[in-house]
Amino acid sequence: MQSSILKEKLFINGEWIETEGTHQVFNKYTGELFSEIALADEKIVDQAINAAVTAHKEINFPVEQRYEVLMRAADLLKQNQTALAETIAIEGGKPISDANVEVTRSVSTLQVAAEEAKKLTGEIIPNYNAPGRFLYTVKKPVGVVAAITPFNFPLNLVVHKVGPALAAGNPIIIKPASDTATTTVKLCELLEEAGVPKGYVQCVVGSGRTVGEQLLNDERIVHYTFTGSPAIGKHIQQTIGLRKATLELGSNSATIVHHDTDVEKAAKKIARMANVNAGQVCISVQRVFIHDSIKEAFLDTLVREVAQLKVGDPLNKDTNVGPMISEKEARRIESWIDEAVSAGAVVLTGGKREGSVVQPAVLTNVKKGLKIVDEEAFAPIVSVSSYDTIEEAVALVNDSKYGLQAGIYTSDLKLSYQIPYLLEVGGVIVNDTSSFRADQMPYGGVKESGNGKEGPAYAIQELVETVTVVVNLEE
Ligand code: NAP
């Protein structure tokens, strides 16, 4: 498919620049070199921050222009759908059908963000206890924003940060995951073509340890928007002091399957949603809690469906499950499965590894204390445990240090109304799995799954400063 190795530059201060170093990105299925991108060093990162500070101070970016740039960018993403999806599939290992869905979603995320630019308003405050005063608020851009993003949705999760930041009128510096940085470079090309003003978008490619740390330690950056692992999220919060961060972190998401549901339908959907992007989705179904009375029927269907998933080359349109992001990650999950089996867990299907490809696995007889239960697996694996009462199921879901989203299959209307108050998560999905996300909805977790909400309408509120104005009308 690929004829030559892509050579990419960095987008800084409205220009494409070469640097002294090179960052290499590999095809995650074949292991071949895919692209070479200019590597940011300390000087380049400093240059990017300077450009963003200057843009914030000196370059006007009115609301109409923000809207137009974001809408044009959405159109350009649509026009470049095939190339973007292939880039995601090659460097991220994501099956091409899912990579296409990611591009389609990114288009919509940009459009929703563009609309939000038009809705930014302050409010009039009642003058109760303030006679002769007119009180109101205005919203203004917070300043320079840094986005640090993960490998698993290299386009849409970057767009979820760039869209709201630009809609709010802020310059943004993007540090993408090194493993999938080519997609971000391509996005910057399209943002440039869409007419983003000079200095409003910069891309600095390099590792978290170098580029990431420099960004965290630079006081000129006022807001960090991070999606990634809880460990790095905590580190960011500790490093930046009083400056603000939106942290979208990991989870070991659960889905409850109650006795009053269509078992076959639930099992089929879970088989698919536990394995999207080889399970490397923050809301992937990792823990399933099934009512005792339907466990056998559920497992029969789940195991059959999981075993039928097509595993292999992400560029093949029939592939459901591609490689994990690296062999190291595949070996990690292999060792977690071994640990579970040594403790009495039963692997009903899958679990075998070849290089970075792991056969989708279903496990039972798992218990608290095992990594595949307590930690975020981020792999094509699902464990199934049964419960007797719904109170027990709720306790099992909540017995986690994470709390991003949870799903529940039930036809009990009363239960579906009660359950959001009982589960310790940021989103409850009724009659679907924990994995559902629409890009316009508020999205973000509790506990170690992070803080703040994404979804352009919600993210934008964290990216504007509310300034209160009081006018003394008696002077
Ligand atoms: P990660 O290892 O935490 O990396 C995320 C980003 O942080 C990368 O760009 C990484 O750079 C950077 N980074 C690493 N060390 C850093 C440091 N010391 N300072 C600043 N930045 C640093 O996460 P990942 O493996 O890419 O992604 C998987 C994680 O993301 C999972 O936990 C998943 O649940 C979470 N996630 C959450 C959501 C959500 O919305 N809640 C969505 C998707 C993914 P390099 O990799 O280039 O070194």
Q: How far apart are CA 48 and CA 201, in angstroms?
A: 9
Closest CA to 358 of 309, 303, 299: 309
Distance 326 CA to ligand 1 centre (A): 14
Helix axes 63-79, 81-92, angle to 10 degrees: 70
Judge whether residue 2 has pLDDT over 60: no
Q: In the beta sheet, which residues pair with residue 33?
A: 26
Tell me the Ramachandran region of residue 110: left when phi exceeds 0, alpha when psi lies from -120 to 50, beta otherwise: alpha
Residue 230 CA, closest ligand 1 atom number: 32
pLDDT tens figures, 32-59: 999 999 999 999 999 999 999 999 999 9
Q: How far apart are CA 444 and CA 427, in angstroms?
A: 8
Q: What three-state secondary structure class fits 378? A: coil
Residues lining ligand 1, CB < 6 A? 148-153, 157, 175, 177-178, 207-209, 212-213, 216, 227-229, 232, 235, 248-250, 282, 376, 378, 404, 450
Judge whether residue 3 has pLDDT over 80: no
Q: What is the mean pLDDT of the chain?
A: 98
Q: Going by CA atoms, what residue is nearest to atom 32 of ligand 1?
A: 229
203 is catalytic: no
Residue 444 CA, closest ligand 1 atom number: 41
Q: Going by CA atoms, what residue is nearest to atom 46 of ligand 1?
A: 177
Average pLDDT over residues 437-457: 98
Q: Going by CA atoms, what residue is nearest to atom 10 of ligand 1?
A: 208
**163's tokens:** 């869209």
Share of the chain above pLDDT 70, in %: 99
pLDDT tens figures, 219-273: 999 999 999 999 999 999 999 999 999 999 999 999 999 999 999 999 999 999 9
Q: How far apart are CA 20 and CA 41, in angstroms?
A: 8
CB atoms within 10 A of CB 265: 13
Distance 102 CA to ligand 1 centre (A): 18
Distance 115 CA to ligand 1 centre (A): 28
Q: Order the strands of the 6-8 sheet from edge to edge.
A: 6-8, 33-39, 21-26
Distance 175 CA to ligand 1 centre (A): 10
C-alpha separations of 259 from 128, 390, 421, 442 in Å? 54, 10, 21, 29
Q: In the beta sheet, which residues pair with residue 225?
A: 147, 246
pLDDT at 475: 82
Residue 445 CA, closest ligand 1 atom number: 41
Catalytic entry in 282, 305, 454, 462: 282
Angle, alpha carbons 452-282-175 (nearest 5°): 70
Distance 150 CA to ligand 1 centre (A): 4
Q: Going by CA atoms, what residue is nearest to atom 8 of ligand 1?
A: 177
282 is catalytic: yes
Cβ neighbors of 235 (< 8 A, separation 6 or more) are none
Q: Where are the beta strands (DSSP E) in 142-280?
A: 145-148, 172-175, 201-203, 223-227, 244-248, 254-257
Q: Where are the alpha helices (DSSP H) in 80-227?
A: 81-92, 96-119, 156-167, 181-193, 213-216
**409's tokens:** 């299959």
Cβ neighbors of 37 (< 8 A, separation 6 or more) are 8, 9, 10, 22, 23, 24, 25, 181, 182, 185, 205
Share of the chain above pLDDT 90, in %: 99
pLDDT tens figures, 368-404: 999 999 999 999 999 999 999 999 999 999 999 999 9
Cβ neighbors of 383 (< 8 A, separation 6 or more) are 286, 287, 288, 340, 345, 362, 363, 364, 366, 372, 373
**360's tokens:** 């989708």
Q: Going by CA atoms, what residue is nearest to atom 23 of ligand 1?
A: 228
Judge whether residue 274 has pLDDT over 90: yes
Give me the DSSP letters along 333-362.
Answer: HHHHHHHHHHTT-EEEE---EETTEE--EE
Distance 258 CA to ligand 1 centre (A): 34
Mutate to test the pocket of ligand 1, among 232, 285, 425 (most ligand atoms within 8 A of CB): 232
Catalytic entry in 248, 376, 448, 462: 248
Residue 181 CA, closest ligand 1 atom number: 47
**134's tokens:** 């007119």
Q: Are strands 124-125 and 33-39 parallel, antiparallel or unpaired?
A: unpaired
Distance 179 CA to ligand 1 centre (A): 11
Mutate to test the pocket of ligand 1, among 98, 151, 218 (most ligand atoms within 8 A of CB): 151
CB atoms within 10 A of CB 291: 23
Average pLDDT over residues 209-226: 98
pLDDT tens figures, 160-178: 999 999 999 999 999 999 9
Q: How far apart are CA 383 and CA 363, in angstroms?
A: 5
Mutate to test the pocket of ligand 1, among 237, 282, 328 (most ligand atoms within 8 A of CB): 282
Average pLDDT over residues 200-211: 98
Judge whether residue 74 has pLDDT over 60: yes
Q: How far apart are CA 85 and CA 447, in angstroms?
A: 33
